[in-house]
Amino acid sequence: MLDHSDGSRPLRHPGTEHLLRYFEYDHLPAHPQAVSKPCGDLAQELVAVLPDGPELSAGLRKLLEAKDCFVRAALDTTPEN
């Protein structure tokens, strides 16, 4: 999310903020983190350029659902060494 010139974060709709927390990936082990990170980064990029509203919320929910599927698929595979 883009910061204001004073370094503070712009206020977003509570629903947007709520969804964004599910895109955090730092707590994951390396293998599923590598799968989750692109979705989290994309969510942040989209929130930075799109206004809050029902379409943004729907898009974030669908991206979150896809991210969860990708992470579960990663859990079923062996990390490459």
- pLDDT one-digit tens code per residue, 14-55: 999 999 999 999 999 999 999 999 999 999 999 999 999 999
Query: How far from 21 is each of 42, 79, 80, CA to CA, in Å?
Result: 13, 25, 28
Q: How far apart are CA 29 and CA 79, in angstroms?
A: 11
CA–CA separation, 40 and 43 (whole Å): 5
What lies within 8 Å, CB to CB, of 2 at 6+ separation is: 10, 48
CB distance 62 to 24 below 8 Å: no
Q: What is the pTM of this model?
A: 0.82
pLDDT tens digit sequence for 49-67 = 999 999 999 999 999 999 9
